[in-house]
Amino acid sequence: MKRNLTSVVLSILLITSLAFKSKEKLEFNPKLTAYCEAIRSKFNDIPSERKSELKEIANFILEQKKQHLPSNLLFVCTSNSRRSHMAQVWAQIASYYYGIDSVFTFSGGTEQTRVNINAIEAFQRAGIEIYSNNQGDNPLRYVRIGDKWNPWVIFSKKYTDSTNLKTNFAAIMVCAEADKACPFVEGAELRIGLPYQDPKEFDNSPLKAAKYDERCKQIATEMFFVMDIVSKGK
């Protein structure tokens, strides 16, 4: 079962990357396109100290490109249910938006749970289609960003899962707990602490949707900032 799951995920990643390379420009769905255009105007809202950390990620990608190597980004959080998936999905979308075909994104946690429904709904409000053909404690979720794009798979897993790379990647710790729990990530060429406030704190609050949207937009803006730097080669 584990081998079959790994094969499915890696096959979809390969199909998605080939589909991307086969077209000069594939369109996102209109709602997502509008969302992406809007967040590009928010780069000035990113604090300077955050920009320094984000530039480290951009520099990693640029250095990999110089060596004609893929830029593999692994986003790590505690439960791989909210922030790490937001970062994985938005970093991949941002790379597609800017036409950077050498970026591949992954995510994992220090424990396995499931992709949180509130994070899924935040994605959907941003214009990203998320669907699943199976049930269970930790179902595979498919991400679709436009009619001409092949979907890719997300699901909760440990960062050491067989579907994640073991070498030649940057480990980006998106929560303080994972940052403390994993002072060393084996195989990582670069390790960066980039914590985000957990929207889970508002799961039982009237502010739930607004706070998830806020975190989703923050992460999207920062991932677009990274890829904007890469696209300019500086």
CATH value at residue 114 = 3.40.50.2300
pLDDT over 50 (residue 15): no
Is 22's pLDDT higher than 90? no
Chain mean pLDDT for the chain:
89
Using the predicted structure, report yes or no on whether residue 24 has a pLDDT greater than 80: no
Q: How far is Cα 43 from Cα 222, in angstroms, rounded to an integer?
A: 8
Residue 71 main-chain phi, psi, to 5 deg: -105, 100
Is the pTM here over 0.85, yes or no? yes
List the single range of 3-17, 32-46, 203-217 with lowest mean pLDDT.
3-17
Position 107 pLDDT exceeds 60: yes
Burial class (CB in 10 A: 0-12, 13-18, 19+), 97: buried
Domain holding 154, by residue range, is 2-232
Q: What is the pLDDT of residue 176?
A: 80
Helix or strand or coil: residue 172?
strand
Q: Cβ(85)–Cβ(119) under 8 Å?
A: yes
Q: How many domains does the chain have?
A: 1
